[in-house]
Structure 1
Amino acid sequence: MVREKRTGKMYALKCLKKKHLAHSNLENEINVLRRIQHENVVGLEDFYESRTHYYLVMQLVSGGELFDRILDKGVYTEKDASMVIKQVLQAVSYLHENSIVHRDLKPENLLYYNTDENAKIMVSDFGLSKTLEHGVMSTACGTPGYVAPEVLAQRPYSKTVDCWSIGVITYILLCGYPPFFEDNETRLFSKIMRAEYAFHSPFWDDISESAKDFIRNMMHKNPTRRFLTEQALIHPWIAENTAKDVDISHSVCEQMERSFAKSKWKQAFHAASVVHHMKKLQSSLSEPLPLHPCMAPAPCLHEAEALDPNGNLVPGAGSPSCSNAESLSHSEPGSAEKSREGKDFLSETDAAFRPSKRWELFQSRTNVDIAVT
C-alpha cells in the first residue's frame, strides 16, 4: 500500500523483480491497462522503476476476494450471485468492445472495491489478457479449472473463452464446488473438453431453472453457440427477476470450504497442470507441437524467493513445488478435507522510485509522488 504525498490518497503498488520479469507478462499487462477505464476494472495509475524492480501504481481495492466475502456474509442468495455476475459481465463486455480478452477470469481475480456491504466488484489481473487483432487466438493460456474446452484442445479460440469462465464462476457461486471434478488429471481435462458437467442433487435442488439455463448457455461446448456478453446481460437471470431470493449460504459455504480451502485458492489448477497435459498430448503425436512461451512452466523457486500471484516477492512464504502443483485436482463434491491455513505477505524496501523510461506510458502526465506505508 502506498500514499500519494500531495493528496494523501492511497494506492496499491504492484512490485515485480526485474530478474523474474522473464516469467511475467508485465509489458502486456501495462499495454492493456493503459487502454481501459471502467468502474468494475482495477485501473493503472502510474508506473515507476528502480534498479531492481518495476512498480505499477494501481487503484486500491480493499474489499477482499469474492469467496472470502461469501464465507463471511451470513446470508447469501441466488440474487446476490446474479448481481455479482452482472457486474463481471459489464466489465468483460466493456473489454470485449475494446477488443481485449481477459483469458484468466476466476474467483480470485474478482475483488470487492471496499469493505462496504454493497461494494462493487472489480476485475483484476490482466497479465494473460490479449488485444484482439484478427478476432481469433491460439495461445494456450489461462487457469485450467476455468479455461474453455477449445483452449485445452489447442484449437483457435475467440473472446467467448471469457464467457465460458464466467459460466464456471457462476456455477461455483451457486453450489460451492466446481463443475468439473476428478481424482485423475487426464479424466479431469477430458471432462472439460467434453463439457461434461451436471447439476447434482441435493446441491442444485433449490436453484432456479433460470440460473441453470444461464449456465448452460455460458458453458456451451460449441463456442459459436455460447452466449456473448451482450446476450448474457439480457438473460432473465441477470436482467429480470428470475433469481431466487432464498438463503443458500449454508450449503454453498460448506461446499466452498471443502472444495476451495483458503490455502488452496491460489494454487488450485496451477498452470503446471495444463503444461503437463500439453506434454502428454505431444508425446502421443509423431510430430511434437511446441509449447508457446505463455505455457512454459515457471521454475520452482527457493522458499526465500517465493512469489505471490502478482509476481511479487514473498520472503519466507514458501512456494509449492512443481510436482505438488501438478498433482492438484478436484474430487467429488463434499469429499475434500477442510484447510484454512493463512499466509502473511511481506513487503520489502528498495532504492528510490523513479519514473520508468522503458515504457513511456504517461508522457503527458505528472508522475505520482508516492511513499510506501
Structure 2
Amino acid sequence: MASGSWAPPRLDDFILTDKLGSGTYAAVYKAYRRHNVREVVAVKCVSKRTLNKASVENLLTEIEILKAVHHPHILELKDFQWNQDYIFLITEYCPGGDLSRFIRSRRILPEKITQIFLQQLASALKCLYEKNISHLDLKPQNILLSGLDRPHLKLADFGFAQHMMSQDEPQALRGSPLYMAPEMVCSRHYDARVDLWSVGVILYALFSAEALFGKAPFASKSFSELEEKIRSDRTIELPTRPRVSLDCRDLLQGLLKRDPNERISFPDFFAHPFVDLEHMACAESLQKATSLVFEAVEKDGVGEHAAALTLYCRALDHFIPALHYEADVRRKQALRLKVNQYISRAEELKVLVSSSNKTLLMQGNTSRELLKEMAQDKPRLFAALEVASAAVAKDDEGMVFDALDLYQQSLGELLLMLSAEPAGRRRERLHSEIQTVMRRAEFLKEQIKTSDWKSSSLDQEALSESVRSSCSLQ
C-alpha cells in the first residue's frame, strides 16, 4: 500500500483514525471500537491486491504465531478479519510509538534504563525460544512502547518469523540488512542464533544512547558498502568511549561474534548478569520481595545482623522492580514508603556489620602476619597474603571498589593454595584467613548494592518521564 493521504479503509465495529505507519503491503491505523467500551486498538490493514504467494505465507505465519503466543512483552493480537479488499489484524495500541523514534528523541539513555529495556526484550525472546520460534527481523522499528507511565516494550511485526528447524538448503534473506547476521548474507544457512546477533546490533547502536557508540557496527552509506563490511572477517571493535559496565561490554562481545558457533548461546544470554531476568520488573517481583523481607525481619529480630542485611539486600533487589511494575498510584506510594523503611534499616545494619567485620579483620592482622612467616617457602601463598593486606589497607581508607577487587584477587589465589595445602597448623590458619576475607568481600558487595538502590528507583521513575517527553515530541 502506498503511503498516500487518502481515507482509511472501512472496518465493521471500528472507527479508523490516525495513520501510525505504512509499508509496501500494509498501513497501520489507530482505531476505536464503535460499541460498548470505546477500546483503543491498532489495525494493520493489508491490501490483498499487493500480496504475492510469499506475502500470503508470511501473513498467515504472523497470524498463527501471534494467536499462539501470549506474553506481556509481545504485541497482543486481539482479532483478525477480512473483506473483499483487505485483511485486518487488530492488535493492542502502543501510544509510546516505536523504540527507534524514542531513542532519536532522547539521544542519551542511562545504562540502567537500557538494561530495563533489554530485560523486557530478552523475556519476550525467551518465550519465543521455548516455542522454537525465531523473529528474524529484530530492529528498533519493530519494538513498540506500550504506554507512557509504565513503558513496556512490545515485540511486534512477526511477518518474517518462523518455526526454526535445521535446514540443508540455502534459505531466503529475511529482515533488515543493518541488523542481519553475517551468516544470513554470507552463506544463506542460518538458524535462531541470527536473532542474538540482531539483539547485539540493537544494543550496540540504540539501547545505550543512540546508543553506546552513536552508530551501528556496520553503518554504511550504501548497500554494497554494508555487504562488504558484513562479509569482512574483521573483528568488531567496541569503542572505549563512552564507558559502559564490564557486564554490558561482555554481553556485547558475546552477541557480536561473526561465527554463530562462537556467539553466546540463548541459555547463556538469558542467564547473563547484564540481562538479569531474575530481577526484572514483573508480576512476581513483589511476592519474591515480600518473602525475603519476612526472613530478613526474623533474622533482624534475633540479632543475626549479617544474615538480616543479606536478606534485606536480596529483598530490595526485587522491591525496586516491583515499584516500577506497580500501576496503582496509592499502592505504589505505600510500597515506596515501605521500600524506604527497608533501605533505612539496611543502612543501619550496614554500619553494625561493617564495624564488626572491620574489627575482626583488624584483629586478624597479627594472624595474617604470622601466616606470612609460615609461608616463606611458598612464594605464591605469600604473594596472595600480601594482596589481602593491601585490600585491608584500601578498605580502611574507605576505597570500597579497590578493596573489593583486591579481596577477590587474593581469595582466588588463597582458595587454590588451600586445596593443595596438607593438614596442619598452616592449613588451619589459611582456612581462617579465607573465611575472614570472604566475609568482608561479601559485605562490600552488599555495601555497593545499597548505594545503588535509591538511584535504581529514581531511574525507574526517570524511564516513565523519558517516554512521556518522547511522546510529546512525536
Q: TM-score range by the shorter chain?
A: 0.5 to 0.7
Structure 2: distance between partners of 1:148 and 1:76:
25
Which of 191, 196, 200 does residue 239 from structure 2 map onto?
A: 200
Verify the 8 A CA contact 1:140 1:154 in the aligned structure 2: no
Deviations along 1:158-179, one digit per CA (max 9) or x if unpaired, are 1110000000000012223111
1:121 aligned partner, one-letter code = L
Structure 1 partner of 2:32: 3
Structure 1 partner of 2:154: 122
1:190 aligns with 2:240: no
Verify the 8 A CA contact 1:45 1:59 in the aligned structure 2: yes
What are the residue-to-residue correspondences of 1:49-64 with 2, within 5 Å?
Answer: 49-64=82-97
Deviations along 1:58-98, one digit per CA (max 9) or x if unpaired, are 11111112133234448621111111111111101111111
Which of 109, 124, 130 does residue 76 from structure 1 map onto?
A: 109
Go from structure 1 to structure 2 and tell me whether the alpha carbon gap of 1:6 and 1:82 turns closer, same or farther (over 3 Å shift).
same
Structure 2 partner of 1:32: 65
The structure showing larger relative contact order (alpha-carbon pairs under 8 Å, at least 6 residues apart) is: 1
Rg larger for: 2
Structure 2: distance between partners of 1:83 and 1:135:
35
What are the residue-to-residue correspondences of 1:1-373 with 2, within 5 Å?
Answer: 1-4=30-33, 5-22=35-52, 24=55, 25-73=58-106, 76-116=109-149, 118-134=150-166, 138-172=171-205, 173=207, 174-183=212-221, 185-193=223-231, 194=233, 196-200=235-239, 204-239=241-276
Structure 2: distance between partners of 1:33 and 1:216:
32
- Secondary structure at the residue paired with 2:220? coil
| Unaligned 5+ runs, structure 1 | 247-341, 343-373
- Secondary structure at the residue paired with 1:175? coil
Go from structure 1 to structure 2 and tell me whether the alpha carbon gap of 1:17 and 1:182 turns closer, same or farther (over 3 Å shift).
closer
Please say which of residues 26-35 and 93-102 is displaced more in the overlay.
Answer: 26-35
1:21 aligned partner, one-letter code = L
- Secondary structure at the residue paired with 2:228? helix
Verify the 8 A CA contact 2:236 2:256 in the aligned structure 1: no
- Secondary structure at the residue paired with 1:76? coil
Go from structure 1 to structure 2 and tell me whether the alpha carbon gap of 1:207 and 1:94 turns closer, same or farther (over 3 Å shift).
same
Deviation at 1:57, TM superposition (A): 0.8
1:84 aligned partner, one-letter code = F
| Unaligned 5+ runs, structure 2 | 1-29, 280-316, 318-447, 457-473
Go from structure 1 to structure 2 and tell me whether the alpha carbon gap of 1:62 and 1:196 turns closer, same or farther (over 3 Å shift).
same
Go from structure 1 to structure 2 and tell me whether the alpha carbon gap of 1:226 and 1:56 turns closer, same or farther (over 3 Å shift).
same
Deviation at 1:135, TM superposition (A): 7.1
Deviations along 1:241-264, one digit per CA (max 9) or x if unpaired, are 999989xxxxxxxxxxxxxxxxxx
Go from structure 1 to structure 2 and tell me whether the alpha carbon gap of 1:184 and 1:50 turns closer, same or farther (over 3 Å shift).
closer
The number of aligned residues is 247
- TM-score (norm. length: structure 2): 0.48
Go from structure 1 to structure 2 and tell me whether the alpha carbon gap of 1:75 and 1:152 turns closer, same or farther (over 3 Å shift).
closer
Identity of aligned residues (%): 27
Structure 2: distance between partners of 1:69 and 1:16:
26
- Secondary structure at the residue paired with 2:269? helix
Verify the 8 A CA contact 1:149 1:195 in the aligned structure 2: no
Verify the 8 A CA contact 2:178 2:226 in the aligned structure 1: no
Verify the 8 A CA contact 2:166 2:191 in the aligned structure 1: no
Go from structure 1 to structure 2 and tell me whether the alpha carbon gap of 1:18 and 1:191 turns closer, same or farther (over 3 Å shift).
same
CA RMSD of aligned residues (A): 3.1
Structure 1: distance between partners of 2:234 and 2:99:
25
Go from structure 1 to structure 2 and tell me whether the alpha carbon gap of 1:107 and 1:75 turns closer, same or farther (over 3 Å shift).
closer
Deviation at 1:39, TM superposition (A): 0.5
2:93 aligned partner, one-letter code = L
- Secondary structure at the residue paired with 1:233? helix
Structure 2: distance between partners of 1:159 and 1:17:
30
Verify the 8 A CA contact 1:105 1:162 in the aligned structure 2: yes
Structure 2: distance between partners of 1:112 and 1:97:
24
Structure 1: distance between partners of 2:93 and 2:162:
23
Go from structure 1 to structure 2 and tell me whether the alpha carbon gap of 1:151 and 1:7 turns closer, same or farther (over 3 Å shift).
same
Go from structure 1 to structure 2 and tell me whether the alpha carbon gap of 1:182 and 1:224 turns closer, same or farther (over 3 Å shift).
same
- TM-score (norm. length: structure 1): 0.60
Deviation at 1:200, TM superposition (A): 2.9
Go from structure 1 to structure 2 and tell me whether the alpha carbon gap of 1:181 and 1:72 turns closer, same or farther (over 3 Å shift).
closer
Go from structure 1 to structure 2 and tell me whether the alpha carbon gap of 1:75 and 1:182 turns closer, same or farther (over 3 Å shift).
closer
- Secondary structure at the residue paired with 1:70? helix
